[in-house]
C-alpha cells in the first residue's frame, strides 16, 4: 500500500512541474507578447460572435468618453489621484510598459516637445506589478525634470478599463473638458497630439 502511494506521488511530481513551467513561461511574457496573445483571442472571439461583436468592449475607451477616476503610484511611491491634475487642462494618458522600446521613444519625444505639450498633464501609467521598474525608466529617458509629466503605476485598475490591446504605448488624448478626442498606438507625433488635445 505504501509503495503504491509513493509510486503515485512520483508520477504526479513531473506533471506538477510541467504545469508550473507553463505558468512561469506565461508570467515571463513581455507585455507586447501578451498584447499579441490577447489580439488573437479577441479575433477568435469576434469570429465566433459574428460581425456585431465589439472590437474592444471598453466604452470608457471610446472617443468622446469622459476620463474615468483613477489613482496611480509614482516612482517615488507617492499616491496621485486624477483630481490632483488641473481640471481645466488637457490630459495625455499613456498606457505603457517600462521595458518597451516604443514607450521610451514616446517619453523622450514628449520631453523634446515640451513647449507644444506644456499646457497638458502627461501621465504615463503601467501595470501595478511594474512599479519597481519605474525609477529605471525615468532615469533612462530622463523625464524627472519635466514639470507636467508623471511616471506611475496603476493603483485603480484604470489600465484594465482602458487598454485595448492594439499596441503599446496606447496614447489617449483628453481635451480640457477631459473628453477623449483621439487614441494613438505605438507612435507619437507632437503636432497631432497638440491638435487633438485642443479640440
Cell numbers for 119, please give them: 499646457
pLDDT reported for residue 73 = 97
Please name the helix (run of DSSP H) or strand (run of DSSP E) that holds residue 77, with its range, or none. none
pLDDT reported for residue 52 = 35
Q: Which residues pair with 71 in a beta bridge?
A: 81
Summarised one tens digit per residue, pLDDT across range 70-90 is 999 998 899 999 999 999 999
Among residues 190, 169, 172, the alpha carbon closest in space to that of 182 is found at 172
**ω into residue 169 within 30 of 0, thus cis?**
yes
Other beta carbons less than 10 A from residue 44's beta carbon: 10
The domain spans of the chain are: 2-49, 59-197
Looking at 3.50.50.60, 1.10.3720.10, 3.40.30.10, 3.90.550.10, the CATH number of the domain 59-197 comes to 3.40.30.10
Give, in degrees to the nearest 5, the angle at Cα 79 between 78 and 80: 110
pLDDT reported for residue 37 = 59
pLDDT reported for residue 36 = 62
Helix spans in 113-178 (H) = 114-117, 134-141, 158-162
9's torsion region: left (phi>0), alpha (psi -120 to 50) or beta?
A: alpha
pLDDT reported for residue 41 = 53
Strands (DSSP E) contained in the chain are: 71-74, 79-81, 91-95, 121-126, 149-154, 170-174, 180-185
Other beta carbons less than 10 A from residue 96's beta carbon: 24
Task: Show the low-confidence residues of the chain (pLDDT under 70).
Answer: 1-56
Amino acid at each position: 500500500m505504501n509503495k503504491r502511494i509513493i509510486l503515485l506521488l512520483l508520477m504526479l511530481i513531473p506533471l506538477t512541474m510541467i504545469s508550473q513551467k507553463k505558468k512561469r513561461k506565461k508570467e515571463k511574457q513581455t507585455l507586447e507578447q501578451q498584447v499579441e496573445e490577447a489580439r488573437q483571442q479577441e479575433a477568435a472571439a469576434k469570429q465566433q460572435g459574428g460581425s456585431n461583436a465589439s472590437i474592444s468592449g471598453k466604452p470608457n475607451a471610446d472617443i468622446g468618453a469622459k476620463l474615468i477616476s483613477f489613482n496611480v503610484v509614482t516612482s517615488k511611491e507617492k499616491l496621485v489621484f486624477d483630481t490632483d491634475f488641473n481640471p481645466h487642462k488637457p490630459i495625455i494618458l499613456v498606457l505603457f510598459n517600462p521595458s518597451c522600446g516604443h514607450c521610451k521613444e514616446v517619453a523622450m519625444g514628449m520631453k523634446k516637445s515640451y513647449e507644444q505639450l506644456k499646457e497638458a498633464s502627461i501621465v504615463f501609467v503601467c501595470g501595478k506589478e511594474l512599479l519597481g521598474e519605474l525609477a529605471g525608466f525615468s532615469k533612462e529617458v530622463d523625464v524627472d525634470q519635466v514639470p507636467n509629466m508623471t511616471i506611475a503605476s496603476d493603483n485603480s485598475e484604470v489600465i484594465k478599463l482602458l487598454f485595448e490591446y492594439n499596441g503599446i504605448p496606447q496614447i489617449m488624448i483628453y481635451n480640457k473638458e477631459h473628453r477623449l478626442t483621439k487614441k494613438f498606438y505605438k507612435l507619437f507625433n507632437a503636432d497631432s497630439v497638440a491638435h487633438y488635445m485642443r479640440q
